[in-house]
Amino acid sequence: MKMKIVTLSEYDRKILHMLDSNGRESVANITKQLCKGREFVLYRLNRLKKAGVYTKIS
């Protein structure tokens, strides 16, 4: 299996750190902490998920 290299931005790292600290962190709280809009955070989360950086487990 070939591994894909993913470049993480500073925002990606911050989002992943927040989710590592609290896996149930809401998008609303992430947007407040990053001072970014909801669409921005959702885009970053979807990009990270598609790249296989994290998986949503419910």
Does residue 55 fall inside a structural domain? no
Per-residue confidence band for 18, with pLDDT thresholds at 50, 70 and 90: very high
Total domains, the chain: 1
pLDDT at 55 > cutoff 90: no
Does residue 30 fall inside a structural domain? yes
- pLDDT at 1 (0 to 100): 62
Domain harbouring 23, CATH code: 1.10.10
Global pTM reads 0.86
Residue pLDDT, tens place only, 43-54? 999 999 999 888
Query: 18-37: b or e for each residue (b if 16 or more CB lie within 10 Å)?
Result: ebeeeeeeeeeebbeebebe
How much is the mean pLDDT over the chain? Answer: 91
Does residue 4 fall inside a structural domain? no
Does residue 57 fall inside a structural domain? no
- Based on C-alpha coordinates, what's the Rg of the chain? 11
pLDDT at 57 > cutoff 70: no
Does residue 1 fall inside a structural domain? no
Does residue 33 fall inside a structural domain? yes
Q: Name the residue range of residue 34's domain.
A: 10-50
Comparing 58 with 9, the larger pLDDT belongs to 9
